[in-house]
Amino acid sequence: MKKNGFTLVELLAVIIILTLVITIAFVSVTRVREESLKRVVETKVEQIEQAAILYGQENPNVIKTSCTDHEKTVVEATNYTPSFCITVTAGVLIDNNFFESSYLDEVNGKTDLINDVTGKSMREDTVIIYRRNNRIYSIIDEVKSNEV
Q: In whole angstroms, what is the distance from residue 83 CA to residue 88 CA?
A: 17
pLDDT one-digit tens code per residue, 102-127:
777 777 777 888 888 898 989 899 99
Residue 124, C-beta contacts closer than 8 angstroms, at least 6 positions apart: 89, 90, 91, 144, 145
Predicted pLDDT at 25: 95
Mean model confidence pLDDT for the chain: 86
pLDDT one-digit tens code per residue, 62-111:
887 777 777 777 777 788 888 788 889 999 999 898 887 777 777 777 78
Looking at the predicted structure, is the pLDDT value of residue 38 above 60? Answer: yes
Predicted pLDDT at 77: 79
Could you tell me if 115 and 108 are in contact, meaning their C-beta atoms sit under 8 angstroms apart? no
* More reliable by pLDDT, 84 or 25: 25
